[in-house]
Structure 1
């Protein structure tokens, strides 16, 4: 019986984990609201999660580069499994304690910020360099599909069995992810450790040596502030003007479909200057935001969502592949954590600004300006020489054929 490859092990474990996260997203909202916590308590819990991610992401990158990545992933999954199980037990007994829930959310989110850099460091080890783009595209396709299937299945499960069942499924999904990580056979060299601050600084030096990477991080920061505004306002427009919760569900499905299409295109379309192509496809995202302004019809918004998210996911594949190809593996976790941090910092800023900006200038005007910012943030990257010139890693030469064994008479 042939062995399952490390790539397929990781893909299977992660798909189950991503689907499980969708169960917890639904379960958390339902549990808090039904316990009488309302939007205020839910906001506090979510804020604790974001704060923990921001506080731990860079340290997660350091440990991903210090240890074998799968060891970090196993530890992260174990902590998150216990956290989700504790939430299931608390709500299963009909108890609701906001401080305890905030503590559990903080611990699980902090553990999750160790998992992401470790997986960033692990993925390039699983396939040859010439297959990285295809591997990243497959992971994006699985993640996007899971982001649609997870909440849908979670909603049905929570409606039928209650919120504790959603938390329990998420805990089981972390167990599956942990089992997959334990079975991985790949190993990598790790150098001597230095102080935490020195290793953090070394990770930033790897970023600062590459103009396309520095520009991309700062461009992403601007992009995510504007996108944070958009993500709040389009929900309001969908509910107030486009048909309510049903329309919001259709739009979310269209976004997921677009993501799957973008990943499928990335499987086939492999230009030599992949990063430049990625930034070009990201310029499709403003079409999604502008569709809410004009013609402001559900059909147009659905089309814009498919087109925009296809461009976004193609860019994600191109960006991740460029980092894998051009950053030394010894620093990949730390560089990935700097990349994650810029996004996490920027998005909540945009979320907070959305309401005041819309009240002051009107929703349509703010959406139009933010769409222009998205376009400008992507277009500006093409002014950076490294972005325009960066090419894919050269394919690895094929291994020489193995000679057939000599006949027994010759061996003797």
Structure 2
């Protein structure tokens, strides 16, 4: 990707003039819990994340119960992922042009309706072919949602409140990850994965109702000479591609995500189905959530002056569970390494979201965030589709161990960029 020497040499501690943190007027606050808009957003997100925490395990074992095929699981997962990735950039343009609370209401409603359809098909044991279009529609709504979520924190919080808001959201997200997989595993083992998917559908619909109570200020009217949607999308790409500290991290996660989603989310449930079962796999995922919750709580108060080096270095721990999964580790060791991976992953997530909201211009946040997610998600379908084939050819041990090693190395490569190592956060916290 193109990157100018000027952007390489630019000190990220001195952002562009329009990259300054959002004003504390309106709903944005340095103490986000005092903002009614943020409280409604937090409530809606909490409900939505509670349902979504059950969805991956429930969908995986629900599809396996109906089809008994890893290929079908891969196809259904990919059917949702490809449209989601394809609509991310459009979602970034929409979220920067329209009120993000309105976007979230509409996309949550759509996601709830499509998940309800998936739940019905699983509960009724219908032909799995019908899951594909519903999964695709759900992926579209998710693709339109993610850029709005990436940008809305800076609408609701300012200064040090940005990291506090991100940490609060991370804490809630990880609390649901602790309970969600275990609940999904128990539901799946007792009455089937369709009921957990139905709960996810209900959570989207309830979240839409909460988002309806959240009101952001109207955007300024657009002038006659304002850029078109295409022009604005090009502007977002120009900023992203000329900022090495962003696109190098995105590239690293493109590799990491492809490996992780292929090995952990595709091979993981298939291997667990024959060994530790849905309950054991749910326990492993929940333990990862415990680690992530711990990190999220700590990050509410912890400030690291230059956080990108420790954040990316810690992410190498995220590759260890992949290696142990391939070597046939038992539930205890999978859970222990998943806990460490959860701590590392959430530490990085809070740091990256805070850096993004602090250093990227407010008017570009959703578009740049969309590029970050788009390019890091594009290789995931390749990983999901190729992993079963590679495992059949070379064996699960070779695929998991090699993939885990590659993922760990990928996390260290961005540290070669000087501007990334110099990034500071919370510089305006006082």
TM-score if structure 2 supplies the norm length? 0.80
The offset of 1:271, in angstroms, is 0.7
Deviation at 1:127, TM superposition (A): 1.7
Aligned to 1:123: 153
Residue of structure 2 in register with 1:403 after alignment:
none
1:105 and 2:135 equivalent? Answer: yes
Which residue in the other structure is 2:111 paired with?
80
| Residue number in structure 2 paired with 1:382 | 415
Looking at structure 2, the residues matched to 295 and 123 of structure 1 have their Cα atoms a distance apart, in angstroms, of 41
Q: Which residue of 2 aligns with 1:300?
A: 333
Provide Cα deviations, 1:84-123, integer angstroms capped at 9, x if missing partner. 344556677x583656543332222211211111111111
In structure 1, what is the equivalent of residue 3 of structure 2? none
Answer yes or no: is 1:209 the counterpart of 2:242: yes
Report the counterpart of residue 19 of structure 2 in structure 1. Answer: none
| Number of residue equivalences | 394
Answer yes or no: is 1:186 the counterpart of 2:219.
no
Where does residue 199 of structure 2 map in the other structure? 169
Aligned equivalents of 2:283, 2:68: Cα separation in 1? 28
Partner of 2:172: 142
Change (3 A) 1:129 1:27: same
* Native 8 Å contact 1:239 1:247 kept in 2: no
> Which has more radius of gyration?
1
CA spacing shift, 1:226–1:33, aligned 2, 3 Å:
closer
1:320 aligns with one of 353, 358, 369 = 353
CA separation of 1:302 and 1:47: change in aligned 2, threshold 3 A: closer
Pairing 1:4-403 to 2, within 5 Å after superposition: 5-25=36-56, 28=59, 42-87=73-118, 94=124, 96=126, 100-154=130-184, 156=186, 165-187=195-217, 189-190=219-220, 191-192=222-223, 194-231=227-264, 232-235=266-269, 238=272, 243-292=276-325, 296-395=329-428
Deviation at 1:394, TM superposition (A): 2.2
Residues 77 and 177, structure 1, Cα contact 8 Å, conserved in 2: yes
Q: Distance in 2 between matches of 1:368 and 1:156?
A: 30
Q: Please give the secondary structure, in 2, of the residue aligned with 1:268.
A: coil
Distance 1:41-1:256 versus aligned 2 partners, 3 A rule: same
**Aligned mates of 1:115, 1:60 — CA distance in 2:** 7
The unaligned stretches of length 5 or more in structure 1 are 398-412
Other structure's SS at 1:283 match: helix
Change (3 A) 1:180 1:97: same
Out of 305-314 and 133-142, give the one that drifted further: 133-142
Is the 1:65–1:330 Cα contact (8 Å) retained in structure 2? yes
Which runs of 5 or more structure 2 residues have no equivalent in the other structure? 1-32
Moved more, 282-291 or 26-35: 26-35
1:23 shift after superposition: 5.0
Contact kept in structure 2, 1:128 and 1:396, CA below 8 Å: no
Structure 2 vs 1, CA of residues 168 and 376 (structure 1 numbering), >3 Å: closer, same or farther? closer
- The structural deviation recorded for 1:169 is 3.1
Q: Distance in 1 between matches of 2:368 and 2:50?
A: 27
In 2, distance between residues paired with 1:184 and 1:157? 33
Given the superposition, is the C-alpha separation of residues 24 and 396 from structure 1 closer, same or farther in structure 2, using an over 3 Å criterion? closer
- Give me the whole-angstrom Cα distance separating, in 2, the residues matched to 1:161 and 1:296: 28
Aligned with 1:183: secondary structure? coil
Deviation of the 1:31 alpha carbon: 6.2
- Kindly state the Cα deviation for residue 156 of structure 1 after the two structures are TM-superposed: 4.8
Residue deviations 1:277-315 (CA, integer Å, cap 9, x gap): 311221222333344467945433322111122111111
TM-score under structure 1 length normalisation: 0.83
**Alpha-carbon spacing, 1:394–1:186, altered in 2? closer, same or farther (3 Å):** farther
- TM-superposition CA deviations, 1:186-239 (whole Å, max 9, x none): 326455553333222111112123210011111111222332343144555555
Cα distance in structure 2, aligned partners of 1:97 and 1:365: 34
Give, in whole Å, the separation in 2 of the partners of 1:9 and 1:364: 46
The C-alpha deviation readout for 1:154-180, integer Å capped at 9, x for no partner, is 455567777665454333322221122
**Distance in structure 2 (CA, Å) of the matches to 1:100 and 1:137:** 38
- Matched-pair contact (CA < 8 Å) for 1:288–1:307: no
Q: Distance in 2 between matches of 1:348 and 1:354?
A: 10
Structure 1 pair 30/351, CA: closer, same or farther in 2 (3 Å)? closer
Q: Is the 8 A contact 2:306 2:423 kept in 1?
A: yes
